[in-house]
Amino acid sequence: MFGMGGEIIRVDLTTGSIKKEPIDKKLVRKYLLGAGYLSRVLYDMIPGGTDPLGKDNVLGFATGLLTGSMFPQSSRHVIAALSPLTNIWGESHAAGFWGPELKLAGYDAIIFTGASPTPVYLHIEDSIIELL
């Protein structure tokens, strides 16, 4: 499908595992990418009554279908999770190099689960993905 990198990255911060998997094209057709895609995925993954600051919350980053194209405003991406401010859906949108770079590396979204016992960051360089 045009506009897709074709894969998502799932990071379990509790175990340190990183998995690449094909994106569900049915979800993309129904919700597109970006906020629509994350709203469906996080809705399915976050149990009711979850503490927004707890390890059961899920944090998602996603690009849009036009991210990285020559279309105006196509450098945008979205970050979403259960908000600690409202205890309901929270999302933020940003622009810059990050979204297009993720798409050019071949990925449409990153889903973080769990909690790391120490501070870590995710390093992505094309097919190399690691927690440091």
- Enumerate the β-bridge partners of residue 94: 77
Distances (CA, A) of 71 to 31, 78, 104: 20, 17, 15
Provide the pLDDT for residue 1.
54
Structure confidence by residue, pLDDT tens digits, 69-109: 888 888 999 999 999 999 999 999 999 999 999 999 999 99
- As a whole number, the mean pLDDT across the chain is 94
How is residue 73 annotated by DSSP? T
Q: What domain count does the chain have?
A: 1
Classify 127 as helix, strand or coil.
Answer: coil
State the CATH number of the domain containing residue 105. 3.60.9.10
Q: Is residue 127 part of a domain?
A: yes
Dmax over CA atoms of the chain, in Å, equals 42
Q: Is residue 1 part of a domain?
A: no
* Portion of the chain with pLDDT greater than 70, in percent: 98
Structure confidence by residue, pLDDT tens digits, 48-58: 999 999 999 99
